[in-house]
Structure 1
Amino acid sequence: MTFVPATFRPLHDGWSVTAVEGPVPDDAVGALAAGIPAVVPGEAHLDLLAAGLIADPFDGDNEAAQQWIGDTSWRFATTFEWAPDGETRHDLVAYGLDTVARVELNGVVVATTQNMHRSYRWDVRPLLRAGANTLTVTFAAPVPEAAARAERNGALPRVNHHEYNQLRKMACSFGWDWGIDVAGAGIWKPIGLDSWSGARIAAVRPLVDVDDDGVGLLTAHVEVERATGDEAVPVTVTLTPPSGGAALTATAVVPAGTTSTAVVVRVPDVAVWWPVGHGDQPLYGVDVVAGDASWAGRVGFRTVAVDTSDDAAGAGFVLRVNGEPVEVRGVNWIPDHAFLTKVTRERYARGIDDALGANVNLLRVWGGGIYEDDDLYDLADEAGILVWQDFLFACAAYAEDAETWAEVEAEARENVTRLSPHPSLVIWNGNNENTWGSVDWGWGGRLAGRAWGDGYYTRLLPGILAELDPTRFYSPASPFSFGPYRHPNDERFGTMHVWDVWNRADYTVYRDYRPRFVSEFGFQAPPAWSTLTAVVHDQPLDPFGPQMLVHQKANLGNKKLERGWQGHLPDPTSIEDWHWTTQLNQAHAIRFGIAHFRSLTPHCTGAVLWQLNDNWPVMSWAAVDHAGHRKPLWFALRDVFSPRLATLQPRASQHAIDTAWEGLAPDPDITALVLVNDTAEPFTGTFTATRQRFDGTVLATATLPAAVPARGAVDVVLPADVATFDDAACEVVVVTPDDADSGFATAFLDGADVVGQALDPDALTVDAHAVDGGVELRLTARSYVRDVFVHADKVDPAARTSAGLMSLPAGASATIVVDTASDAAPAAFAGTVRTANDLTGKG
């Protein structure tokens, strides 16, 4: 959130909310006419829930029954005491109003607002009175307000079922293909009085650079507002090193007649901030004093650049931090709760922990959500997780009229300034898929010559960044091809989104792409069993039951899940098998795709999965469900995003390359062990490759020497006798590093998909023992076992497991620890172990 000065007095007590107009249910009319207690910061849905007027919006099919909330206008009101305190100015400050609102103080309209993504400040000295004061905020009903604007101004192309692109409101609050429709209203950030004299600090932009001699340069741009007069304002900036050494101080003056100054602090031998896996994350404290006002924050010294220049293959997208290329292993981030005031620092910390645990080094904050609270960026600063921040435009055309333009400019200026201290933030992005949509989604005839938002992406937003923060890279869109006359989603140029897989194509189609950088791709699955069954109560549970489909927002989503496993996994015969099959297929799809993308290093410089998290319990593309359970996908992600990756991939021999027809890719005719080394240390060593039967009988073997440079990749060709299957249904290729501490995991090449393999469904022995803090599961494979996973949440929804989705060749063993406080018998957790084998029913 925006920095809150010490002079700010929150007005968060004594609020009530009433329904002003709308289709309020008969049994709630009386209570909502009289008013119910309201929490501020908060939102109407949560107040109704606390008052017992609605059931849990996430449960069952309550979503449909509660649509009246978004069709109702709401008034929040409180009374507070005030007395003159000797200060000169008294401003009413609202840090977040959702969304179209009329603010009144003592019956007088202070202002109207129409943007939840910015703050507001009003001088209310003439309206305050000694004693009791009444503050009301009345919100227009968001759904009819958006529809009315579309009717008045003309509807614009969009996805989904509401006119969300008519308002500067979180787009996904109106529902998405993974999101519940809970468009509501509320005072979602602090509101209160800021009483001050002299000068206040209106904004600080502490921009950093590092010169070629290793000197850090902090340029603190300080803006002030004076309560009265026009006198000069002295400014002092103090920089405190992370080591606790001597602070550095510089001073300047905001001259009379002006409102800003820039203070430069030079830091010899600066400690440089790095992304995770590239170095440490030292953070310097920054304290600014202007007159009697103060501001505090942190910075990390680093440089950022993205190279999109043309090359022989097209144009890349190479992110460099401190001049060093960064292979991006990323995930997309959506708002972590459908009700934003439920997103706490603890939830953010859990998300960062999930990202780090999965070997992720970048979060893309998606444009249909919000500019997140500073807590997320603070935690990313500390962890070394890079942040790509979208401006808030997603999957739609947006009006460019003067009123909307002014709101977009105000929100962009505020949030560019607010987020400027964070070293983790490296990329600003203009929109999500709008540029692509303008080309491919049939907008032309529907727009009839109207502007669709391109002015924001090509003029306004880059202009604001050039003025306020030129230290970050700006991309006009995702996907984007960085050049004229190029399709915005061309795999040869810049960033691309891959969505034919999932929507219509088998996941093996990932291998048909040779992208330079993939900023969206994904595959769906249900959440953990306990998460799903807590909100879906169909009897019997069925993939196409009515409540199940309430929690599946994608078009034909469960049909796509079914189509997706065809040819890969057997058809499930029970609802629990359906759950495991779909979760496993999601993990297989994404592991397949990322392994391919990373095997193209350095041609492909990054992959950003859709998505890390959920905002409610739902079938989705997430790796971690809303309750915090790590799906099988998360464990696949951890493995395939490992800094050192060994993967077996089809490749074309030189002969195949030489004999390919012009313009056609050569057919793969060999198998290579692709070694990706995203570490600072080169690797030299050997691997043992074997082709073996599922029972462990070795059919062919070879020793493969390899040398991989730091931040590099190599292909090592497998001998034909190792790579060629005699009986694909009963054989597997296993490639193991001879140095167990190499950082490379064992790589497997299956001759067939699970549905075509003769896997033994009883190949795994599980011994369960109680240990301090939980249960230890000791696994032994009598025959080849694919994809061991423990659904520990079926016994204890709070349980966590140390490992998952591991495969074991015959004779191998492994241990999984279940972290649980449950007093359930260890055997109960053993009973939740699933494998791909047990889906086959084959001996």
Structure 2
Amino acid sequence: MRLALDLGKTKWQFRQSATRSPWREASVPGCVHTDLLRHKLIPDPFHGTNELGLQWIEEADWEYRTSFTVPAEFGRHEHVELVADGLDTVATLTLNGRELARTENMFVGHRWDVASHLRTGRNELHIRFGSARRYIQTHRPEHRPPVEFNDPVGGATRLRKQACQFGWDWAPRLVTAGVWRGIRLEAWTGVRLANVRVRQEHAGSRVRLTIDPELCGTEGGQVCRVVLSFEGTEVALAEGHAAGLTLEVPRPRLWWPVGQGEQPLYKLTIELRDPASGRQVDAWSRRIGLRTIELDRHPDKWGESFQFHVNGRPVFIKGANWIPAHSFVAALTRADYERDLRAAVAANMNCVRLWGGGIYESEDFYDLCDELGLLLWHDFMFACTLYPHDDAFAESVGVEVEQQVARIRHRACLMLWCGNNEIHSCNFAALNDPVTREGYEKIFHTLIPDVLARTDDQTPYWPSSEWHGEFTGGYPEGERRGDTHYWDVWHARKPVSDYERWHFRFCSEFGMQSYASAETMAAFCPPSDRNLFGAASENHQKNPFGNQIILDYVTRRYGYPRDQESLIYLSQLNQAYCMEVAVEHYRRNRPRCMGAIYWQLNDCWPVASWSSIEHNGRWKALHYAARRFFAPLLVSARVLGDERQGKGNYRESTVTGAVELHTVNDTPRAVRATLRWELSLLDGRRIRGGSKSVSLAPASARLQAKLDLAREIARHGRERLILRYGLVVAGTTVSEDTAFFAPPRFLELPRVEPRILVEKTDARHARVIIHSPVHQHRLSFEFRGIPHHADDNWFDVHPGEKAVVSVELARPATLAALRRSLRHQSLATAQ
């Protein structure tokens, strides 16, 4: 049986090499920044402008060491190996004074036979991590890509390392070093199970599994025993020699993405046994989901479809892009991942896109996606910039891809392998050069597909995101086929209404920035510098034009903010509005469009960004809005016409009162519902209303009603009216929203304070009850200084009704403390 000694549980030390500083305790897995911070040798990199003073860390060499005693039973095995799952990045390993190996790829695991290096008693392992910057300066100088968007120093793509560590337009430049994944000794004899490939064949109600163990060592007719169990009960068994074992699964329970069905996970165990003694030699065990996933690209009247079928059923993809959840990823725990991934499910998402400028994630991340039913669009770790393609680089990439695919391919959540993020679209002109294109195609059109053909031919592959099927570009092509990143709303400062101009087949990136909340800002800014445009906040805004663009969009739609907190509020309100316009447009246009993945779900540090969840887990307005606009049953209003500033800055409006009411049903079931609408004055007086019984076919979008409110607008004025609309199923409102007929900055909003009551339900839970005699648009509340999560926020409060919200407290708080800390804001109070 294979033995293992976890070296992460031994005592590690670290120091800076050149200074010969004293050895200090270190954490493994970990990184040099967190070790320095633990010993108070550096200030908090996330606070103020501290990041700027810590760039010396990437210029230094760092040493880590540990000592260990090899258990006696290891010596009775043929092989004793040092296994390192991840070294970051330019590492030289020495064992008992003898150089063992050198590495230069953060994403490659290593296995070295060290039997001849070990000795009786104490052994010392020493790892020297060379400066990443010095490596970049001295290696592949001929590789000079024409565009390096986010790396202020340049050259980061010469080294296979997490790209966003070198800086991104939402990330600090904090280039780490260290043992960032597990490290251990393993001992074994004869043969070991290196990995197992599992293929699924679905035919009608039958599922057949084909098991191909990948063995390493001296094969001697070993026998494999394969057991499939569900919730502790064995459901299928097979025995035989190592290649091509099959299992027939009786009464298979299929895995579905969340919102489409359940997520049953089977346990698959492969035991490798000695044929003579029957003794177990090695074992491999994983959880799998029984399902099929297909990328359907069939010709249709618009061009070519781009939709995912799960178990034969087309699924509209609703989600957000995932970036590394911390600048120091080695310290992340399952709880960290669970907080944000559960929040994605709570917002009615069924997918996350693992973006290519980060990392291949931890097992905790993939476990949670499997358990929660979150489909995973998985980029390989290449982003935006052209990469080297020399033979040595390509060989390293080939090993990386093969290892990561073998590690992840069995995952139920895995929807798509994608070659890279935006390299094609960011380097469109450069790729017209035949030599440059040949190098690009070598990696993304030849090497990676060849590896996948050998290792995972059941998961679809797409060479880049965005990509339209060939070396063509432009948004018109995205209306015909492929996936699109639409950034004219934001980078090009196009009006928000431009989202509705385009009818993309699948939109895998689009976004709008907002500021982090005032409480989050206070955590990273010193009290003397809490101006949004001061030095500390400016260092936490990594887009060079970010503040300008936020202000541009806010002032187009909203009135002048009353103070800084109102500006923060309006920036988040605007972000939520922009994403609502985009997502509801994409959803109304199914099946032409079959996916909307906004940028981005999470943050790696406290920052002004496109995220819907702040670094500390706090939901922005966008995340609460996402739960509404991603709802499985949706009513969506489209107010026809637009308002812009014309010549002489005079208002020009084509809004006449024509409104379309659409419904969307993403579920696999037909639904009968009632569509309701009501037109009111902003002070609460009802003008007109109506209702209609509607039928929502499974997996459908439909225009259900057209309203003509021209007479009411002519009589009362666009600035005084609000349209409320909802979808009611079996007496329960499942979707509801409001619409205006003029930009909110011109609305005649009554400034009347709502009545807010706070009640304690137990030590860790409270209830907030809100009444208002007038309409309150997107009222938000918080208990300042008391960590908490509200089950709803940033909602409308309607006259004569009460809103009741449940609040979970991170720690007990008294009722008096809650009442003292209560803060609230609405559109009327912010502008």
Deviates more, 1:359-368 or 1:592-601: 592-601
Of the three residues 656, 667, 671, the one matched with 1:683 is 671
- For 1:436, the equivalent position in structure 2 comes to 425
Q: Which amino acid in the other structure matches residue 249 of structure 2?
A: V
- Rounded Cα–Cα distance in structure 1 between residues aligned with 2:472 and 2:347: 38
- For 2:645, the equivalent position in structure 1 comes to none
- For 1:338, the equivalent position in structure 2 comes to 327
TM-score, normalised via structure 2 length: 0.92
Q: Which amino acid in the other structure matches residue 39 of structure 2?
A: A
- Rounded Cα–Cα distance in structure 1 between residues aligned with 2:711 and 2:314: 33
Partner SS state of residue 573, structure 2: helix
Does residue 800 (structure 1) correspond to residue 789 (structure 2)? The answer is: yes
- For 1:412, the equivalent position in structure 2 comes to 401
Deviates more, 1:197-206 or 1:629-638: 197-206
Does residue 272 (structure 1) correspond to residue 254 (structure 2)? The answer is: yes
Of the three residues 388, 393, 408, the one matched with 1:399 is 388
Identity %: 30
Cα distance change, pair 158–452 in 1 and its aligned pair in 2 (3 A): farther
The answer as to whether partners of 1:691 and 1:722 remain within 8 angstroms in 2 is no
Task: Report 1:347-496 matches (<5 A).
Answer: 347-439=336-428, 449=436, 451-483=438-470, 485=472, 487=474, 490-496=478-484
- For 1:17, the equivalent position in structure 2 comes to 14
Cα distance change, pair 705–363 in 1 and its aligned pair in 2 (3 A): same
- Rounded Cα–Cα distance in structure 2 between residues aligned with 1:230 and 1:699: 82
Q: Which amino acid in the other structure matches residue 20 of structure 1?
A: S
Cα distance change, pair 816–687 in 1 and its aligned pair in 2 (3 A): same
Q: Which amino acid in the other structure matches residue 410 of structure 1?
A: V
- For 1:263, the equivalent position in structure 2 comes to 245
The answer as to whether partners of 1:702 and 1:722 remain within 8 angstroms in 2 is no
Does residue 55 (structure 1) correspond to residue 39 (structure 2)? The answer is: no
- Rounded Cα–Cα distance in structure 2 between residues aligned with 1:718 and 1:763: 35
Partner SS state of residue 719, structure 1: strand
Partner SS state of residue 633, structure 1: helix
Which digits, 9 at most, give the CA deviation of each residue in 1:227-284, with x for residues without a partner? xx55222211111134x44432112324xxxxxx232111132111111111111111
- For 1:817, the equivalent position in structure 2 comes to 806
The answer as to whether partners of 1:680 and 1:710 remain within 8 angstroms in 2 is yes
- For 2:647, the equivalent position in structure 1 comes to none
Which digits, 9 at most, give the CA deviation of each residue in 1:340-394, with x for residues without a partner? 1121111111122111110010011110111111111111111111111101110
Cα distance change, pair 334–723 in 1 and its aligned pair in 2 (3 A): farther
Which digits, 9 at most, give the CA deviation of each residue in 1:532-573, with x for residues without a partner? 111112635212100001111112111111112122111223
- How much does 1:740 deviate? 6.2
Does residue 517 (structure 1) correspond to residue 509 (structure 2)? The answer is: no
- For 2:202, the equivalent position in structure 1 comes to 210
Deviates more, 1:423-432 or 1:374-383: 374-383
- How much does 1:451 deviate? 4.9
- For 2:82, the equivalent position in structure 1 comes to 92
- How much does 1:484 deviate? 6.2
Aligned length: 801
Of the three residues 623, 643, 655, the one matched with 2:612 is 623
The answer as to whether partners of 1:364 and 1:387 remain within 8 angstroms in 2 is yes
Of the three residues 204, 210, 221, the one matched with 1:219 is 210
Partner SS state of residue 175, structure 1: strand
Runs of 5+ consecutive residues of structure 1 not aligned to the other structure: 22-28, 255-260, 653-665
- Rounded Cα–Cα distance in structure 2 between residues aligned with 1:454 and 1:159: 21
Runs of 5+ consecutive residues of structure 2 not aligned to the other structure: 274-280, 642-653
Which digits, 9 at most, give the CA deviation of each residue in 1:695-739, with x for residues without a partner? 232223333332220111110233313796231111011223455
Of the three residues 721, 740, 748, the one matched with 1:731 is 721
- For 2:147, the equivalent position in structure 1 comes to 157
Q: Which amino acid in the other structure matches residue 207 of structure 2?
A: G
Does residue 647 (structure 1) correspond to residue 639 (structure 2)? The answer is: no
- Rounded Cα–Cα distance in structure 2 between residues aligned with 1:806 and 1:12: 49
- How much does 1:492 deviate? 2.5
- For 1:144, the equivalent position in structure 2 comes to 134
Of the three residues 697, 711, 720, the one matched with 2:708 is 720
- How much does 1:320 deviate? 0.3
- For 2:780, the equivalent position in structure 1 comes to 789
- For 1:133, the equivalent position in structure 2 comes to 123
Deviates more, 1:277-286 or 1:504-513: 504-513
- How much does 1:433 deviate? 0.3
- How much does 1:668 deviate? 10
Does residue 36 (structure 1) correspond to residue 34 (structure 2)? The answer is: no
- Rounded Cα–Cα distance in structure 2 between residues aligned with 1:634 and 1:826: 27
Which digits, 9 at most, give the CA deviation of each residue in 1:660-709, with x for residues without a partner? xxxxxx99994210100111222223323222111232223333332220
The answer as to whether partners of 1:281 and 1:300 remain within 8 angstroms in 2 is yes
The answer as to whether partners of 2:465 and 2:508 remain within 8 angstroms in 1 is yes
Q: Which amino acid in the other structure matches residue 36 of structure 1?
A: R
Does residue 198 (structure 1) correspond to residue 185 (structure 2)? The answer is: no
Cα distance change, pair 740–724 in 1 and its aligned pair in 2 (3 A): farther
Deviates more, 1:323-332 or 1:160-169: 160-169
- Rounded Cα–Cα distance in structure 2 between residues aligned with 1:754 and 1:737: 24
- Rounded Cα–Cα distance in structure 1 between residues aligned with 2:655 and 2:457: 45
- Rounded Cα–Cα distance in structure 1 between residues aligned with 2:372 and 2:529: 44
The answer as to whether partners of 2:196 and 2:214 remain within 8 angstroms in 1 is yes
Of the three residues 127, 152, 162, the one matched with 1:170 is 162
Cα distance change, pair 819–11 in 1 and its aligned pair in 2 (3 A): closer
- For 1:502, the equivalent position in structure 2 comes to 490
- Rounded Cα–Cα distance in structure 1 between residues aligned with 2:3 and 2:498: 56
Partner SS state of residue 562, structure 1: helix
Which digits, 9 at most, give the CA deviation of each residue in 1:458-506, with x for residues without a partner? 1111222222111111111111112465658633311100111111223
- Rounded Cα–Cα distance in structure 2 between residues aligned with 1:5 and 1:639: 51
Task: Report 1:477-626 matches (<5 A).
Answer: 477-483=464-470, 485=472, 487=474, 490-503=478-491, 504-537=493-526, 539-626=528-615
The answer as to whether partners of 2:759 and 2:815 remain within 8 angstroms in 1 is no
The answer as to whether partners of 1:788 and 1:805 remain within 8 angstroms in 2 is yes
- How much does 1:153 deviate? 4.4
- How much does 1:150 deviate? 4.8
Partner SS state of residue 714, structure 1: strand
Q: Which amino acid in the other structure matches residue 420 of structure 2?
A: N
List structure 1 segments (4+ residues) > 6 angstroms apart after TM superposition: 666-669
Does residue 673 (structure 1) correspond to residue 652 (structure 2)? The answer is: no
- Rounded Cα–Cα distance in structure 2 between residues aligned with 1:551 and 1:268: 55
Q: Which amino acid in the other structure matches residue 758 of structure 1?
A: E
- For 2:648, the equivalent position in structure 1 comes to none
- Rounded Cα–Cα distance in structure 2 between residues aligned with 1:746 and 1:118: 49
TM-score, normalised via structure 1 length: 0.91
Of the three residues 166, 179, 182, the one matched with 2:171 is 179
- How much does 1:6 deviate? 5.0
- Rounded Cα–Cα distance in structure 2 between residues aligned with 1:130 and 1:554: 56
Partner SS state of residue 382, structure 2: coil
Cα distance change, pair 189–426 in 1 and its aligned pair in 2 (3 A): same
Q: Which amino acid in the other structure matches residue 786 of structure 1?
A: H
The answer as to whether partners of 2:302 and 2:479 remain within 8 angstroms in 1 is no
Cα distance change, pair 612–485 in 1 and its aligned pair in 2 (3 A): closer
Cα distance change, pair 715–88 in 1 and its aligned pair in 2 (3 A): same
